[in-house]
Chains A and B, each alone.
Chain A
Amino acid sequence: MRLHGETESAARERYKYYLQQALSCIHPSAYFYIGKQPLADEWALSTNPIPIPLQTRDGGVLYLTATQSFRTKRQKREWKVSTQAYIYNVSEWADTRDYMFAWHWHPSQPPECHLHVSAELSNHMKLDKKHLPTARVSFEEVLRFLIEEFDVEPAKSEWQGVLAETQERYERHRSWWGSTRD
């Protein structure tokens, strides 16, 4: 993501700002915050609360954990923010250990974007430990999936326009979109 003529901190805040816009579509008060990873020279985005409770139209609740790490680096005369990993876990329980879906990209192991699904085949093979291949998944795609397919109640009426705008921005600035960056 390229951010022209900004300081590093402004680039970080703008990166967070658009993710926050997306997050506001499914929760009225949850927010992202940024911190430096204790064990690496990268930044992490986390949320409060964690996990985020999402109201469904039938009165139920789902729980979302959304985490990213990213780097900033100066290229020529502009700051670039580059996503290094993402974790989006969706669960029926506040303890997201028992997730339904988990979209992961944490390239140290394995390098490809993947999906974990809590499901079991008739031969008793469990899919939750399998790495189902995906392309790079955006935060907006996860939110749209939750609203449209899992009846999560949008937190604002204009959610479609907001997600479309932030998704368009993400697609315009991303440097890769397949299953792996390398």
Chain B
Amino acid sequence: MIAIYVCAGIAVYAAIRVIAERNTMRKLPFLNVVSFAVTGIIALLLPHPITIAAAAAYFVGSTLESNAIASTWAGGIKKP
């Protein structure tokens, strides 16, 4: 039962770090930390066998979203 509390604490701390950070590039690792912590919350919240599928779907989706934001912000390959 203590594990889900630790996940919730990590999620709130990383969200506070996201809004406290000024540089956009430094926000993105903390966004990934929020995604991992919420994945842990989803997996531990309900004792049901399909919960792991929901956690896996959220993990894939949030990682895709973070990487899409990061690669668009970086601007892609620079043409020489």
A and B pair up: no
